[in-house]
Amino acid sequence: MTSSPKLDRNLPVLDGMRAVSILLVLFSHAGLQHIVPGGLGVVIFFVISGFLITRLMLEEMQLTGDLSIRLFYIRRILRLMPTVVLFMAVAIPALLLLNVTVTAAQVASVLFYVTNYYHIYIEYPSYNPFPIFWSLAVEEHFYIIFPFLIWVLRKHLGVLAGLLIALAGIILAWRFHLNALCLHGPAPWAVCGVTPQLDMRIYHGTDSIADCILFGVLLSLALHLRGTFVRKYFVNNVAFYLGGAGLLFTLVWRDPDFRETVRYTLQAASIAVILLNLVYGRQAFFQRILQHRLLLTIGQWSYALYMFHYLVLVLIERTQGHAQGLEGPLDVAIYFAGSFALAGAAHIFLEKPLQKVRRRFHPHAIVLRNPKEL
C-alpha cells in the first residue's frame, strides 16, 4: 500500500465549505434572509455529510473487508451527542431564567432527533431554540438506515447506486405531491402538519429533503465505482462553472413551485459537482480561499456554531422583547460575539479532546489514495 494522507473529517477544502455553509446560516438568521440564502447553507452541509461519511465507509470496507456498524454508531454518538448535551445544559437554565417554558417532550425531541417532525406536527412555542436541530434530525434519520443498506449491498455497490438514484427520484416526486397537497390543496394534518408550519413541511421533512444527502452519497459511490469516468467528464473547469451556474439559477429563479420541488435537486447536484472539483480538481483560486486559516477554524467550529448561534439569537429576542429577529447593531454584535464565544469554547474544551477518543473506535487508519488514482 502506498503512503498517502489520511482521509478524515478535516479535509481542508471541506472545512472551508463548512465555513461557507455556516456563515450563510448565521448571516441569514441575523436578519439578512432576504439576500443571504441560509437554506442553501444547510443543503451544502447535507451534501458534504453524505459524501464524506460514505467515503469513509467505502475506505473502511476496502481496507478491512467489512464495515463495523457498531463502531460507526459509537463514533457518531461521540461526535454528536456531547455537544448536544452541553447545549441543553446551557440552554435550559437560560430559558427557564427568562420564563420560557421548556417541557420534557421538547427536550426529548432534541435528544431523540425528532425535532423536525415535532415542529411540523406539534410546533415549538416562541423563544424556543430547539427547532434548529431539525437538520441534525434529518441526517440522523438517514444514518439510522444507510449503514445497514451499504453493509447489506457491500458486494453489490452498483445495485446500491441504482437504488439510491431511484430513491432520489421518488423523493423528488413526493415533493411535487406535497407541494400540490400542502401548499395548494386541502393540507390534511396527517401529511402536512399544523397550518403555521406548512411552508416548512417540504424543507424540514426527512421524507422530502433527504435526497440532498443522497447526492453526496452518490458522488462517493461514483468515485469508487467509476473514478476514471468521473475524473474525465466532471473534474474540469466546464463542469465546475456549470455547477456554479446551476446553483446561481436556483437562487434567482423565484417561482414558488420550482422552489419547493426541483430547486433542492438542482442545488444538491450542483453542489456535488462543485465539491468534486474543489476536492479533486485544480481550482486553485477557490481552494486557496477555502483553506484560509480563518475559514478553516470556522469550519471546524461549524457544528457547535450551528446550534449555539440560534440559542444566542433566541435569548436576545427574549431579553429585548423582540417578536422575531435582531434589531440594531448592538443586537447583531452580541449575536455574533456570543455565537462564536460559545461555539469556540465547545470546540476547544469538548469536541477537540473527544477527537482522540473517537479515533480509538476506528478499526483501522482510513487512508485516502492519491486523488489522481481515483
DSSP state of 13: H
Distance CA 19, CA 51 (A): 17
Bridge partners for 367 per DSSP: 6
What is residue 82's DSSP assignment?
H
pLDDT score recorded for residue 247: 98
Q: Which residue has the cell 429533503?
A: 209
Confirm whether 1 is domain-assigned: no
Sequence-separated (6 or more) residues with CB below 8 Å from residue 152: none
Task: Look at the chain and report how many structural domains it folds into.
Answer: 1
Residue 372 lies in a domain: no
* CB 128 within 8 Å of CB 106: yes
- pLDDT for the residue 197: 84
Cβ–Cβ under 8 Å, residues 110 and 119: no
Cα(187)–Cα(178) distance, rounded to whole angstroms?
9
Element (H, E) at 344: helix 328-346
SS3 for 367? strand
Could you tell me the residue range of the domain that residue 117 belongs to? Answer: 12-367
Give CA–CA dist 175/201, Å, rounded: 10
175 to each of 142, 171, 204, 253, how far by Cα in Å? Answer: 17, 6, 12, 18
Whole-number pLDDT of residue 48:
97
Residue length, the chain? 374
Compute the distance between CA of residue 246 and CA of residue 317 in angstroms, rounded to an integer.
36
Planar angle of CA 327, 333, 335, nearest 5 degrees: 75
CA pair distance 13, 179, nearest whole angstrom: 35
Query: CA 202, CA 192: separation in Å to the nearest integer?
Result: 9
Q: Which cell numbers in the block locate residue 15?
A: 472545512
126 belongs to a structural domain: yes
Q: CA–CA separation, 264 vs 211, rounded Å?
A: 8
Q: What is the pLDDT of residue 370?
A: 40
- The pLDDT assigned to 364 comes to 53
CB 79 within 8 A of CB 358: yes
Phi-psi region of 342 (alpha: psi -120 to 50; beta: other; left: phi over 0): alpha
Q: How far is CA 305 from CA 100, 132, 299, 309, 342, in A?
A: 22, 11, 9, 6, 8
Give Cα 67 distance to the centre of its chain: 23
Residue 373 belongs to some domain of the structure: no
For residue 145, give the 3-state DSSP assignment: helix
The stretches in the chain having pLDDT less than 70 are: 1-10, 323, 363-374
Q: What is the pLDDT of residue 8?
A: 39
Cα separation, 331 vs 335, whole angstroms: 6
Residue 121 lies in a domain: yes
Structural domain contains residue 3: no
DSSP string for residues in 71-88: HHHHHHHHHHHHHHHHHH
pLDDT for 204: 97
